[in-house]
Structure 1
Amino acid sequence: MPDPTHDHARWRTFRRLWLATATSNLANGMLLSATPLVALTVTRDPVAITAITAFQYLPWLLLSIPLGTLADRVDRVLLLRIASLFRAVAVALLALALSTGHVHIAMLYGLAFLFGLAETLYDNTSSALVPSIVADHQLERANGRLQATYTVANSFVGPPLGGGLFALAVAAPFALGAAGYGVAVLLLALLPLARRKQAHDPSTARLVDDIKEGIRGFSGSPLLVSLCVLFGVGNLASSATYSLLSLTVIERLDANASTFGLVLAGGAVGAFLGGVYGDRVGRLTPPGTTLLWTSVVSGLATAALGLVHHVAALSALMALDGFVVMTQSVIAVSLRARLIPDHMLGRVTAIFRTLSTGASAVGAIAGGLLAREFGLSWPFVIAGAVVVALGPILFHWLSNDRIASTAPIKNRATGEMV
């Protein structure tokens, strides 16, 4: 039976992590819009500019698994502090270079890689930390708050703020971003360190053995593999279509560039509402049924994005898709956390996210090829159809009976905050 006093204490601890994540993501959002603008002051070569994004995602593809394994061997709160401090120092150095006029494209590449490295460490570690902070019945609520905060800070507030500050002074968004990461460090300093019972001796266990154990833990769970397929195909479909939204708005709908922001705002509103209310909506149906109907609705909305001819309709469909995808994410991420033992949360989650991130890269290429061959509408229709078909297929492995029959791991029983 839940203990209200104990639950309140857990939630108070989570709020510190939540606030630290909010300030970090606000800084992320500002840099998301300001960094390409800085690149344009150095070069106009499109390949050189897009390479910045490639360097930022490279750590996810190459280092996510070892960094996730690190989160199982080292205190997770300490890792979050290190990642935030690392970002604060790196961005502050770039702000200093910009203020003195000493900027080279290679600096942006280096910053993008180091920033991506810290982001990979932070995201993998925070995903593993949340289940050890909140009570089990608070997990959906906590994940919903984090997802909503991520959407608002990265898509709503951060980018316009970063662009506006850049117009005032080139170094301003980076200076404020460094301050945001600094605040996150201070908030994380208020989090207690965690004493966790280890399933192995961290001083003698080899890293490669830990990774192998994580792979076995992931592949040995049909539910985890099915959830990964669900996320991977969803990311593939979204990257194949969302990467074409700007061309869709400007070319197919013959609108202006400023209208593109309204379309993205629709998706951000839906995602925000899904993050805030997704846990409540998810309780209306059993988890397997929720994963099924959100997949079908998302697929239908994605297909319709390629067929509508008005910006308002496009924005409304983006809002609908954002809401159901975020609702699905809140339920799926919470289920994933319950299926993984605490001592393996970091590495198994990293394996999970490495595969789904790779699917996003494949999806973007596939969407561009389809658009070039058949036109801008077809990637949306095909991707939507794939997602709709995926729902009933995966429901065989993600059925309510299978989920109910799988005993959840009591992650919070493995350690205590001190």
Structure 2
Amino acid sequence: MRKLSAFGALWTSQGASNAADGILAAAAPLLLASLTRDPLAVAGMTVVQFSPWLLFTLPAGALTDRMDRRRVLVAGNLLRGAGFALLATAVALGWESVGLLYAAVFVAGTAETLVDNAALTVPPRIVPRRNLERANGRLFATQSVINTFVGPPIGSFLVAIAATLAFFGSAGLFAVAALAALLLPRLLPTAAEESAAGDSPTSMLSDIKAGWRHFWTHHLLRRVAFISAAINLFGTATGAILVLLATGPLGVPAAAYGLFIAVPAAGAVLGSLIAEKVIPLIGGGPVLWAAALGPAASFAVLGLTANVVVALAGMFLAAVTTACSQIVVSTLRQAVVPDALLGRVTAAYRLVVLGVVPVGGLTGGVLAVVFGLREAFVIAAAGLALAAVVLAPRVTSAALREAEVVAEPSRV
């Protein structure tokens, strides 16, 4: 019963924070697009938002393994809520600017390094190993439904009424996420787990080194990280300028932009729900192949079609494959890494996977300026397809199964 209530608290906290993220996914780009139509300036928000993953993710991972993870979730969500409450106040006073929006998303991105690292380490502590795929599937399905299916249309609707409503609403949801996280049990690493990890760090720097070393020497985790990094690099290159393509050449009204980016979320929900059946059926290796080739095909469609329905169909199918791969990756990491190191290894993994996002955002802006908006999507498609051919064959279903079986005794 305790584990069920703990998972419920985590589920509620993640749901509220994802609702806030979903509203902001539409509200922030729409506010920025109302201030400037410069592709580099629009892409710049993605660069600023994800720069903290380059700057702070490793220290965030070390803090996650040193502190009560419940407190990390509470503090991080409160910080995000405070940042957007201040932005909403500024917008209400007529002080909105590109620089101010950049500052708000940078603060939120910094807090997110703490919240996301901590949240990803919680399921193995409150859910039995045999139920991890199901628990991760539910968390990712909830994230997909709320973050990209429910939140964006609400964000667009609120911006159409008054931008302050969207930002104040997000701030309130982050506060709810913090309150829900308070219901979790204490989540400090136990002495037994620290001993099993074979590591007794005496400083923050040694903590970080231990986490990075464990990640980098685990060849399978490293290879999976490179695949995910390639997907994120090219996905961000297109995602950073998607608002310009949608509200420009594709003719999507600004008020409907939230619905446009919400439609693929149905694919992510479907992928999250069927992953529990699909992954054992076809294996994690083919799932990772599909996760790279699916988005590549979607980028090509976006760059070449003028039909909104066709564009959305491509995005839908890509989201199905990506959601399945996220569950493969999360379950692998939670299964093979000792809990005492999980925060630091997760941070090292996400440094590689999300550290490329600012580069991708800048790349998308440059490609759009130099070659054109549609051409940027086609180039990204070719780049991701090439990366899939080079990287995906190095991760097989057999290797994934073997890694989890070998690690299982240490987690019992």
Q: Which residue of 1 aligns with 2:50?
A: 57
Stretches of structure 1 lacking an aligned partner (at least 5 in a row): 1-7
Q: Which residue of 1 aligns with 2:136?
A: 143
Per-residue displacement from partner, 1:310-337 (whole Å, max 9, x unpaired)? 2211111111111111111111221122
CA shift, 1:281, in A, is: 1.9
Per-residue displacement from partner, 1:287-324 (whole Å, max 9, x unpaired)? 22322344334433443443334221111111111111
Q: Which residue of 2 aligns with 1:338?
A: 335
Quote the Cα distance in structure 1 between the aligned partners of 2:397 and 2:120.
24
Whether 2:311 is the aligned partner of 1:314: answer yes
Quote the Cα distance in structure 2 between the aligned partners of 1:71 and 1:27.
23
Quote the Cα distance in structure 1 between the aligned partners of 2:239 and 2:271.
18
Q: Which residue of 2 aligns with 1:191?
A: 184
Q: Which residue of 2 aligns with 1:409?
A: 407
Deviates more, 1:165-174 or 1:175-184: 165-174
3-state DSSP of counterpart to 1:59? helix
Deviates more, 1:195-204 or 1:64-73: 195-204
CA shift, 1:262, in A, is: 5.2
Quote the Cα distance in structure 2 between the aligned partners of 1:362 and 1:31.
21
Deviates more, 1:301-310 or 1:67-76: 301-310
Whether 2:239 is the aligned partner of 1:242: answer yes
Q: Which residue of 2 aligns with 1:180?
A: 173
Deviates more, 1:159-168 or 1:264-273: 159-168
Question: Which residue of the other structure, out of 40, 57, 62, is the alignment partner of 1:69?
Answer: 62
Against the structure 1 CA distance between its residues 167 and 228, is the aligned structure 2 distance closer, same or farther, given a 3 Å change threshold? same
Whether 2:296 is the aligned partner of 1:278: answer no
Structure 1 contact 227–332 (Cα < 8 Å) conserved: yes
Q: Which residue of 2 aligns with 1:24?
A: 17
CA shift, 1:60, in A, is: 1.6
Quote the Cα distance in structure 2 between the aligned partners of 1:248 and 1:108.
21
3-state DSSP of counterpart to 1:115? helix
Quote the Cα distance in structure 2 between the aligned partners of 1:175 and 1:107.
15
Question: Which residue of the other structure, out of 273, 283, 287, is the alignment partner of 2:284?
Answer: 287
CA shift, 1:403, in A, is: 2.2
How many pairs were matched up? 405
Matches within 5 A, 1:220-259: 220-249=217-246, 252=249
State the identity as a percent.
34
Quote the Cα distance in structure 1 between the aligned partners of 2:409 and 2:368.
45
3-state DSSP of counterpart to 2:184? coil
Quote the Cα distance in structure 2 between the aligned partners of 1:25 and 1:318.
20
Per-residue displacement from partner, 1:322-361 (whole Å, max 9, x unpaired)? 1111111111221122222211111111121122223233
**Aligned-partner residue type, residue 205 of structure 1:** T
CA shift, 1:259, in A, is: 6.6
Structure 1 contact 338–411 (Cα < 8 Å) conserved: no
Quote the Cα distance in structure 2 between the aligned partners of 1:175 and 1:412.
45
Structure 1 contact 73–202 (Cα < 8 Å) conserved: no
Deviates more, 1:44-53 or 1:27-36: 44-53
**Aligned-partner residue type, residue 10 of structure 1:** K
Higher gyration radius (CA)? 1
Deviates more, 1:216-225 or 1:175-184: 175-184
In the superposition, the TM-score normalised over structure 2's length comes to: 0.84
Quote the Cα distance in structure 1 between the aligned partners of 2:125 and 2:388.
31
Structure 1 contact 267–318 (Cα < 8 Å) conserved: yes
**Aligned-partner residue type, residue 295 of structure 1:** A
**Aligned-partner residue type, residue 409 of structure 1:** A
Quote the Cα distance in structure 2 between the aligned partners of 1:92 and 1:364.
26
Quote the Cα distance in structure 1 between the aligned partners of 2:200 and 2:229.
35
Per-residue displacement from partner, 1:241-277 (whole Å, max 9, x unpaired)? 3344445456655666567555423322211221222
Quote the Cα distance in structure 2 between the aligned partners of 1:204 and 1:400.
34
Deviates more, 1:147-156 or 1:200-209: 200-209
Quote the Cα distance in structure 1 between the aligned partners of 2:291 and 2:390.
14
Against the structure 1 CA distance between its residues 300 and 177, is the aligned structure 2 distance closer, same or farther, given a 3 Å change threshold? closer
Quote the Cα distance in structure 2 between the aligned partners of 1:63 and 1:144.
28
3-state DSSP of counterpart to 1:193? coil
Question: Which residue of the other structure, out of 30, 54, 74, is the alignment partner of 1:81?
Answer: 74
Per-residue displacement from partner, 1:88-112 (whole Å, max 9, x unpaired)? 344445555666x385756655433
CA shift, 1:206, in A, is: 0.7
Deviates more, 1:264-273 or 1:251-260: 251-260
Structure 2 contact 43–365 (Cα < 8 Å) conserved: no
Deviates more, 1:367-376 or 1:226-235: 367-376
Against the structure 1 CA distance between its residues 13 and 299, is the aligned structure 2 distance closer, same or farther, given a 3 Å change threshold? same
Against the structure 1 CA distance between its residues 339 and 248, is the aligned structure 2 distance closer, same or farther, given a 3 Å change threshold? same
Question: Which residue of the other structure, out of 214, 219, 223, is the alignment partner of 1:217?
Answer: 214
Structure 1 contact 338–408 (Cα < 8 Å) conserved: no
Structure 1 contact 237–363 (Cα < 8 Å) conserved: yes
Q: Which residue of 1 aligns with 2:321?
A: 324
CA shift, 1:228, in A, is: 0.7
Against the structure 1 CA distance between its residues 186 and 206, is the aligned structure 2 distance closer, same or farther, given a 3 Å change threshold? same
